[in-house]
Structure 1
Amino acid sequence: MAEYDQYKMQNPLTQYTRDEFPKQKQTPPGLQSEMNVVPDCGEKTYRGTGRLEGRKALVTGADSGIGRAAAIAYAREGADIALAYHPDEHKDVQQVADLVKEAGRKVVLLPGDLSDESVNVKVVEDAVNQLGGLDILALVAGKQTAVEDIAELTTEQFRKTFETNVFSLFWITKAAIPYLPAGASIITTSSIQAYQPSPTLLDYAATKAAILNYTRGLAKQVASKGIRVNCVAPGPIWTVLQVAGGQPTEDLPSFGSSTPLGRAGQPAELAPIYVYLASQESSYVTAEVHGVTGGNHLG
């Protein structure tokens, strides 16, 4: 990164690397700490200003990538955090937990496979009980596996992708809404894939379109409760998802280079939008989708 200050004006073309990423492959779900070119999730760059003081947040997929960036930002903005993550990613989530503690905030670790309904219900109950309440949901966890030919796309993978990306969203919001007070915020994570699906991501892109629609419908349903629901739609962001099967290995070197900004995004570049949507600054914003795409616009 050119400058270790998120507030200093910089050239977005060169703010992060434009070099080719090394070819690499990990077994899903993968570990960010073992990536060649570790993503920037704001560990050294995010500086909070107290915008979420006293809030209580549950972040899924909190061990790495966008979820990690959101968790770090929330803690530095003053929120206590429950970190939901896959049990295989404990090494990464422990790093996040340490950063939350360094920010002087309470942290709760909630391992589990979110493709299981009972795990989602338990995650919510544990977060509420251990944090003493809940008023922010940042739902980032997802499954992405590239398959070049539909003939090779199994029913098992198709089902698992929907269970992880869509069913979990339903289960966790259904369990959480009874606990959320007026003023609470739910933030889901869709993708540019909902608008411009890649041919190798049939199941993943379909889930991201479903998330977008679910978000808008839920927002209208719970508006009368004073709960806002919004969606973030990233473009090509450098995360462990990409090296753990999310992209064909041969495509990794040029990942993100076709965007108008000419590079992949970093998770830290999404943290501010997750903070904004969680904060009272977005009090009149609900049922909206916010793209962070490097110029490959939504629609």
Structure 2
Amino acid sequence: MQKSSAKKKARKAAAQKQQPGMEYLMEPKPEFASLKYKPAGKLSGKTAIITGGDSGIGRAVAVAFAREGCNVAIIYLNETRDAEFTRKAIEEINGKCILLKGDISSEKFCAKAVNACVKKFGSLEVVVNNAAVQYPREDITQITSRQLEKTFRINLFSQFYMVKAALKHLKEGSTIINTTSVTAYRGSGHLIDYSATKGAIVSFTRSLSAGLVKRGIRVNGVAPGPIWTPLIPATFPPKDVATFGTDVPLGRAGQPEETAPCYVFLASDDSSYMTGQILHPNGGEIVNG
């Protein structure tokens, strides 16, 4: 397991040219598996499928789930090296993991991925819709129709596709966890389309929870604040990367490992009286809703 180091307020990191970004190129490396975390078998016997599970928050969630006894299927786009690293980290703790490469903006692929997961592990109890893209722009006039559609297809449409494909396998007691963002609540002038998708995910989560409550399937979300993931150097200029996250009350960016317990809680029976809710690991920002 990776040992947690002291959290720093600023960092130097070379910009990356392609999303969603490569974790192995980042410096410092994101911290994804805290040695302070004590697993308790909370997900034993369950299987989870995680979009964007190769790196960043997704990697931290995948490893935390495996530490809790969960089988994990990781969906990734083109970050093969990161995905293999995550699988190795899971196998080193005697966890089981499969990698599913493909584009989640394709409904056909999402159905194929879910079926592959169930074929491998025999069941599916947890769906984590985590993958996303963002394209910072100075103002709305710089957002093309093509960019708008791509952002919505990857960030929002994929969640519809994954849920629809998974529903025929999810039984009473299953859970769906959607990653939204603090920007859904406070907005972002440079991430208008991204923030719009994240706001839609909040509403999607609440509405879906109401629609599935009679089936005994709980639906919740997590709205992270500034977390040090590959998406940051892949989308922001170096000057912004260097001070990323320093404007929140805690004065620093969060680490992926600091968000993972939220997902474990929502996936486990510990959150049995929660549905339609959003958790906020965001460094102390006060948000409404």
Relative to the length of structure 1, the TM-score reads 0.92
Are 1:24 and 1:36, in contact at CA under 8 Å, matched by a contact in 2? Answer: no
Shift of 1:43: 6.6
Q: Distance in 1 between matches of 2:10 and 2:285?
A: 19
Per mean C-alpha deviation after superposition, the further-off stretch among 233-242 and 95-104 is 95-104
Among candidates 97, 102, 106, match of residue 92 of structure 2: 102
Match in the other structure for 1:93 = 83
Name the CA shift for 1:4/1:249 in 2 (closer, same or farther; >3 Å): closer
Among candidates 218, 240, 247, match of residue 228 of structure 1: 218
Indicate whether 1:184 and 2:174 are aligned: yes
Name the CA shift for 1:81/1:265 in 2 (closer, same or farther; >3 Å): same
- Pairing 1:134-173 to 2, within 5 Å after superposition: 134-173=124-163
Deviations 1:226-260 (A, max 9, x none): 10000000000010011111x34331111100100
Q: Which secondary structure state, in structure 2, belongs to the residue aligned with residue 211 of structure 1?
A: helix
Among candidates 45, 61, 66, match of residue 70 of structure 1: 61
Are 2:60 and 2:260, in contact at CA under 8 Å, matched by a contact in 1? Answer: yes
Q: Distance in 1 between matches of 2:91 and 2:228?
A: 26
Are 2:15 and 2:237, in contact at CA under 8 Å, matched by a contact in 1? Answer: no
Q: Distance in 2 between matches of 1:82 and 1:214?
A: 23
Are 1:31 and 1:89, in contact at CA under 8 Å, matched by a contact in 2? Answer: yes
Are 1:136 and 1:185, in contact at CA under 8 Å, matched by a contact in 2? Answer: yes
Indicate whether 1:210 and 2:200 are aligned: yes
Deviations 1:146-192 (A, max 9, x none): 11132221111110000001000001101101110111110000001
Structure 1 unaligned segments of length 5 or more: list them. Answer: 6-13
**Structure 2 counterpart of 1:161, one-letter code:** T
Match in the other structure for 1:129 = 119
Q: Which secondary structure state, in structure 1, belongs to the residue aligned with residue 135 of structure 2?
A: coil
Name the CA shift for 1:41/1:26 in 2 (closer, same or farther; >3 Å): farther
Are 1:108 and 1:131, in contact at CA under 8 Å, matched by a contact in 2? Answer: no
Indicate whether 1:295 and 2:284 are aligned: yes
Per mean C-alpha deviation after superposition, the further-off stretch among 183-192 and 21-30 is 21-30
Match in the other structure for 1:42 = 33
Are 1:25 and 1:249, in contact at CA under 8 Å, matched by a contact in 2? Answer: no
- Pairing 1:276-287 to 2, within 5 Å after superposition: 276-287=265-276
Match in the other structure for 2:42 = 51
Indicate whether 1:194 and 2:184 are aligned: yes
Identity across the alignment (%): 41
- Pairing 1:110-121 to 2, within 5 Å after superposition: 110-121=100-111
**Structure 1 counterpart of 2:50, one-letter code:** V
Deviations 1:2-56 (A, max 9, x none): x958xxxxxxxx9511233435233222210101211111175644221111111
Are 1:291 and 1:297, in contact at CA under 8 Å, matched by a contact in 2? Answer: no
Per mean C-alpha deviation after superposition, the further-off stretch among 56-65 and 143-152 is 143-152
Relative to the length of structure 2, the TM-score reads 0.95
Q: Which secondary structure state, in structure 1, belongs to the residue aligned with residue 186 of structure 2?
A: coil
Q: Distance in 1 between matches of 2:26 and 2:35?
A: 18
Query: How many aligned positions are there?
Result: 287
Q: Distance in 1 between matches of 2:140 and 2:238?
A: 18
Structure 2 unaligned segments of length 5 or more: list them. Answer: none
Among candidates 6, 15, 26, match of residue 24 of structure 1: 15
**For the aligned residues, what is the CA RMSD?**
1.7
Q: Which secondary structure state, in structure 2, belongs to the residue aligned with residue 234 of structure 1?
A: coil
Name the CA shift for 1:90/1:47 in 2 (closer, same or farther; >3 Å): farther
Match in the other structure for 1:33 = 24
Q: Which secondary structure state, in structure 1, belongs to the residue aligned with residue 168 of structure 2?
A: helix
Indicate whether 1:257 and 2:255 are aligned: no
Are 2:43 and 2:68, in contact at CA under 8 Å, matched by a contact in 1? Answer: yes
